[in-house]
Amino acid sequence: MSIREDFLKQLPNDFEKIIQTTLISGFYVSQLVAQTMVSKGTKGKMLFISSVQAEMPIAQSAAYGCAKAGLNHLVRTISVELSHHRINVNAIQPGWIDTPGEYEAFKEQTIQKEASKLPWGRLGSADEIAQAACFLVSDKSDYITGSILTVDGGFRYKDFRTKIHQES
């Protein structure tokens, strides 16, 4: 959940709602799942969805960025605590993904213009996030825990490219 608003105008209740929805509920749900897994002796996987905004200071997203950064720390911490139960805990950190919510926040023309500036020349797709999720919950990722997998097509580094790369 995100409510985009200038830091100086963000209502405390909105800030708290974003933290509650993204971070605190993630804690409670994962705790219940982990307690059930441990009590049954079940090995397995827990997967969170974070965001590149956990690392990137994006205007009008202070609460969301804080919540996702906290979620990443939660993933790493509980991965340490649950490792001896053989429960893998990881997260996917998507970049700018083509979802209906983006079209509620931005005009289509703005999305198309900004997407063309990204390294892949487009927004990511939900299918690309799903493929990463399938990998992280599969047997192929049994030796991965406490990791935050970024799936962003280079979104985090879009502004670091040289002029030559931007023109090609």
Q: What is the CATH number of the domain that holds 38?
A: 3.40.50.720
pLDDT of residue 39: 98
2 within some domain: no
Q: Which carries the bigger pLDDT value, residue 167 or residue 50?
A: 50
Number of independent structural domains in the chain: 1
63 within some domain: yes
Cα separation, 152 vs 157, in Å, equals 9
Question: What size, in residues, is the chain?
Answer: 168
Task: Tell me which residue range forms the domain holding 120.
Answer: 12-167
3 within some domain: no
Question: Tens of pLDDT along 90-137?
Answer: 999 999 999 988 888 888 998 899 888 888 899 999 999 999 999 999
pTM: 0.89
Cα separation, 59 vs 1, in Å, equals 16
160 within some domain: yes
Q: Which carries the bigger pLDDT value, residue 48 or residue 121?
A: 48
1 within some domain: no
Q: How confident is the model at residue 163 (pLDDT cuts 50, 70, 90)?
A: low
Positions marked active-site: 64
One-character DSSP codes across 21-76: IIIIHHHHHHHHHHHHHHHHT--EEEEEE--GGGTS--TT-HHHHHHHHHHHHHHH
Residue 1 has pLDDT above 80, yes or no: no
66 within some domain: yes
pLDDT of residue 162: 66
Question: Quick one: average pLDDT of 74-88?
Answer: 98
87 within some domain: yes
pLDDT of residue 14: 94
Residues of the chain above pLDDT 90, percent: 72
Mean pLDDT taken over the chain = 92
